[in-house]
């Protein structure tokens, strides 16, 4: 079970969180022309990298904040967690 450092609450067990997928995906802006391809990429296409991955987690049994986690998908090592307003580079 992972140990995740919520930027608002601190280190908590994975049980308290829900996984939210790739954090680098940006939703196309509202009311703007979007090509079919761009929209399909946004809705369906996700990478499944081995190694470092910036992803979303939701502290559902805690502060209910969504935040970013940089994790190695192979070893589960977590390098960094950050608020949505912060960048992970």
Partner 1 sequence: MKQSHRLNNVGLINRDKVITFNFNGKSYQGYEGDTLASALLANGVHLVGRSFKYHRPRGFIGAGVDEPNAKLQVTINGHSEPNINATEIELVEGLSATSQNCWPSVEFDIGAINNFLKRFFPAGFYYKTFMWPKSFWYKVYEPFIRKAAGLGVASLEKDKERYEHKFEYCDLLVTGSGPSGLASAYAAAKNGAKVILAEDKPRYGGTLLTDDVSIDNMSGKDWSEKIISELKTMPNVILKNRSQVFGYYDHNMMVMFERVGDHLSNKSKYTPRQRLWYIRAKETILSTGSIERPIVFGNNDTPGVVLSSAAKEYMKVYGVLVGRKPIIFTNNDSAYETAFEFKKNNVEPIILDTREEHDSEVVQEAKNKGIQIKFSYGVIVANGYKKVKSAKIGKLTKDKKSFESTETINCDCICVSGFWTPTVHLASQSGNKLKFDEKIDAFIPDKSKQNEKTIGAANGSFTLQETIESGFKTGSELSSKITDKNNENKIPTVTETKYSVHDKFWCMPLPKNENPKRFVDFQNDVAVSDIEIALREGYRSIEHVKRYTTLGMATDQGRTSNLNGLQMVSNIENKIVPEVGHTTFRPPFTPITIGTIVGREVGMEFMPTRKTPMHEWHEKNNAVFVDAGAWKRPRYYKQGNETLLEASKREAKNVRENVGICDVTTLGKIDIKGPDAAEFLNRVYTNAWLKLPVGKARYGVMLREDGMIMDDGTTTRISENHYHMTTTTAQAANVLSHLEYYLQIVWPELNVNVVSTTEQWAGAAIAGPKSRDMLSKLFPDLDVSNEALPFMGYIESNLFGVPARIFRISFSGELAYEVNVESNYGLFMWEKMMEIGQEFNNQPYGTEALSTLRIEMGHVAGPELDGRTIPQDVSLDGLVSKKKDFIGKNSLGKEAFVLENRQKIVGLVPTDRKSSIPEGSHLVENEKAKLPNPKLGHVSSSCWSVENNNPFSLAIVNDGKNMIGKKLFAVSPLKNTSIEVEIISSHYVDPEGKRVRS
Q: Which two tokens stand for residue 51?
A: 């190694």
Provide the mask over 31-60, with x wherever binding to partner 1 is found by CB under 8 A and - wherever it is not: x--x----x--xxx-----------x-x-x
Taking the complex as a whole, the smallest distance from the CB of residue 30 to partner 1 amounts, in Å, to 4
Sole binder of partner 1 in the list 54, 70, 78, 82 (CB under 8 A): 78
Q: Which residue has the tokens 């929209």?
A: 39
Residues that bind partner 1 (CB under 8 A): 1-3, 13, 18, 20, 27-28, 30-31, 34, 39, 42-44, 56, 58, 60, 64-66, 75-76, 78, 84-85
């Amino acid at each position: 079970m992972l140990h995740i450092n919520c930027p608002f609450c601190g280190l908590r067990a994975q049980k308290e969180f829900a996984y939210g997928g790739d954090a680098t995906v940006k939703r196309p802006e509202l009311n703007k022309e979007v090509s079919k391809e761009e929209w399909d990429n946004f809705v369906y296409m996700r990478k499944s990298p081995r190694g470092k991955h910036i992803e979303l987690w939701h502290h559902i049994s805690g502060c209910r904040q969504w935040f970013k986690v940089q994790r190695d998908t192979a070893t589960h090592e977590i390098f960094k967690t950050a608020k949505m307003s912060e960048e992970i580079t």
